[in-house]
Amino acid sequence: MNSLWGVILATMVKDIRLEWRSKDALNSMLFFSLLVVVIFMFSFDPLAEESRHIVGGLVWVGFLFASVTALNQTWARELRNQVLDAYRVSPGPANALFLAKAMGNFIFVSVLEALMTPLFVIFYNVRVLGPAWQLLPIAILGTWALVVNGTFFAAMSLRTHSREIMLPLLLFPISIPAVVSMVAGTTAILTGEESAHFYIVLLLTYDVVFTTACLALFGMILHAE
Amino acid sequence: MKRLFPILSIFTVILLAYALYEALVVAPTDAQQGDVYRIIYYHVPSAWTAFLLFFINFIASIQYLANAKPSTKTAAKWIVIAIGVGGVIACFLPPVQRLLPTGMRPSAVATTVLLIPIFYFLIGKLFPGERLDMLAVTSAEVGVVFCSIVLVTGPIWARPVWGIWWAPGDIRLTSTLVLWLIYVSYLVLRRFSSSAQTQMLAAALAVFGALDVPLVYFSIWFFRTQHPQPVIGGGGSMDPRMLHVLLISWMAFLCFAFLVCWSRFRLELLHREIEEGHAMESLSGSGVAPRASLPLGRSSR
């Protein structure tokens, strides 16, 4: 157990340090989602009442697209200098590597969300009518849902030609229930018309199911040669 | 086996023609919808066939993954038996029965649950080793074709009856569309993946897809459905003469799907034999490679 957390912590700290120095993933994500905000604003130009209904969808679609740019770089980094091959022959558990990568991505996407959400609020004049604190569990569970499958499929698409294109093709169909719950839950809270409890429970189920599936199958994906 | 194929082909053609005749001429006209409804004789059998093929794909994929290690193989066997037995018993317990949607009969659900171990062991017996993966790719490809038929014929029917081509957010329509998307991404992965690890990756994706489908279903649980209730095992009802034609049509579609799957499977088998032959040839240098020069006319044995 100790070695599991040791490997997780070491890999995650290394990733965060790399990101802190280069800021590759975060900068591209931030600029990308800023563009999404601006383009959506020009294409819809909504009133305050309308925006309450659509902004949940816009926010999450923006984050979904932006997170793909970060997820694509997760494993590509390890291909240089055969780092991934070194992992494969090392005695460290495969799942520790996966969890470290997923947690690292979770932190990056959370930072993105924390920085971009105020912009959405400003540009679309959003005022929350429902219980606003429920947005937090939706954000946490939703981000984990995107990131855990994204990390897994990014590892999977490493083994394909044109892997940058493969990741969204694999990730988006599987993410549909998570995206539906995130969007519907956020809209429910923003409009205050219905309860978001069902969607939070659904997101939790999604997270538990797919985290288990990822952990069960990641070793196979890593060692598939 | 070689002679069976043309015989089955002729039989399928006759059955398809008969089903078409029954659907267009014999089946009574619907009192409310008129003749438009006759498209269900293509729509519903395609849907059943597509779901059956995706189910086969899932079973084959999960078995392929489980067979990678002897320990998981044994564990998977017992889990499948437990699912079969536990599922059937659970269907007849009152608390579980209350959870079922209204109109869905417990016996129908129990039969479906029972199909899991039956298919698992049948497929494991008939398709050992690498053939499991060949079955998976075959059933996915043919399943996507039938699912596309469902998604095309549905809007054609919906336009005159509902007045709209597509009902956004409808539970049945959306889950079928997502299922189709997942399996298209499965085929894309197989196409783009480099040779050696494709099977494992594809099998993992198929498992993810199968886990996704119930979640898709629940995520749109609150959305109302416009789609007619299922005829078998659901709350829908149908004139017995119509049901008779529907079942004939389904038989014809099943035969057709089986035929297509069979030829696709043979193609895949030959394809891999040739690849293997090429690999052997390059391994043995310029030496004789007995399996490399396969004539294409050789049938599967």
Round to whole Å and give the CA distance between B54 and B198: 18
Choose among B185, B192, B196: nearest Cβ to A161.
B192
Q: What does the pLDDT look like over A48-74, one tens digit per residue?
A: 677 778 888 888 999 999 999 889 888
Quote the percentage of chain A above a pLDDT of 90. Answer: 36
Q: Which own/partner contact pairs does B106-115 have at CB distance under 8 Å and 24+ positions apart?
A: B108/B232, B108/B233, B108/B234, B109/B233, B111/B233, B112/B233, B113/B83, B113/B84, B113/B87, B113/B88, B114/B84, B114/B87, B114/B88, B115/B55
**Domain span including residue A153:** 2-223
Q: Is B182 on the interface with A (CB under 8 A)?
A: yes
The count of domains in chain A is 1
> CA-based angle B235:B237:B240, to the nearest 5?
145
Choose among B184, B201, B216: nearest Cβ to A159.
B201
Q: Is A162 on the interface with B (CB under 8 A)?
A: yes
- A-B CB pairs within 8 A amount to 90
Residue range A162-179: average pLDDT?
89
Look at phi and psi of residue B169 and say left if phi exceeds 0, alpha if psi is from -120 to 50, else beta: left
Which amino acid makes up residue A190? L
Are B205 and A156 in contact (CB < 8 Å)? Answer: yes
The total number of residues written for chain B in this structure: 301
Looking at residue B225, its pLDDT comes to: 57
Round to whole Å and give the CA distance between B268 and B199: 13
Residue found by looking up tokens 């040779």 in the block: B195
Q: Is A149 on the interface with B (CB under 8 A)?
A: yes
Are B209 and A181 in contact (CB < 8 Å)? Answer: no
Chain B residues in contact with A181 by the CB 8 A cut-off are 219
Mean pLDDT of chain A: 87
Round to whole Å and give the CA distance between B50 and B176: 10
Chain A residues in contact with B188 by the CB 8 A cut-off are 166, 169-170
**pTM greater than 0.80 (yes/no):** yes
Which amino acid makes up residue B270? L
Cα pseudo-dihedral A186, A189, A191, A194, rounded to 10: 110
How many CB atoms are closer than 10 A to CB B217? 16
Looking at residue A99, its pLDDT comes to: 93
Looking at residue B160, its pLDDT comes to: 85
Q: How far is B60 from chain A, CA to nearest CA, in Å? A: 16
A149 Cβ contact partners less than 8 Å away, ≥ 6 residues apart: A171, A174, A175, A178, A210, A214, B208
How many CB atoms are closer than 10 A to CB B135? 24
Token representation of residue A105: 């991505």
Q: Is A75 on the interface with B (CB under 8 A)?
A: no
Q: Is B78 on the interface with A (CB under 8 A)?
A: no
Phi, psi at B152, each rounded to 5°: -85, -45
Q: What does the pLDDT look like over B68-105, one tens digit per residue?
A: 888 888 888 899 899 889 888 888 888 877 777 666 67
Chain A residues in contact with B209 by the CB 8 A cut-off are 173-174
Q: Is A38 on the interface with B (CB under 8 A)?
A: no
Minimal CA–CA distance to A8: which of A78, A128, A148, A103?
A103
Q: What does the pLDDT look like over A22-53, one tens digit per residue?
A: 888 888 889 988 898 888 888 877 676 777 78
Higher pLDDT, A55 or B54: B54
Residue B59's pLDDT band (cuts 50, 70, 90): very high
Chain B residues in contact with A199 by the CB 8 A cut-off are 219
ipTM score of complex:
0.86
Residues A194, A188 contacting (CB under 8 angstroms): yes
Residues B30, B155 contacting (CB under 8 angstroms): no
Looking at residue B71, its pLDDT comes to: 84
| Chain B residue with the nearest C-alpha to that of A175 | B212
Residue range A130-150: average pLDDT?
92
Residue B269 has pLDDT above 80, yes or no: yes
| Chain B residue with the nearest C-alpha to that of A200 | B219
Quote the percentage of chain B above a pLDDT of 70. Answer: 86
Minimal CA–CA distance to A37: which of A153, A107, A115, A136?
A115
Q: Is A156 on the interface with B (CB under 8 A)?
A: yes
Choose among B181, B182, B204: nearest Cβ to A217.
B204
Q: What does the pLDDT look like over B143-176, one tens digit per residue?
A: 999 999 999 998 998 888 888 888 776 778 888 8
Token representation of residue A131: 């219980």
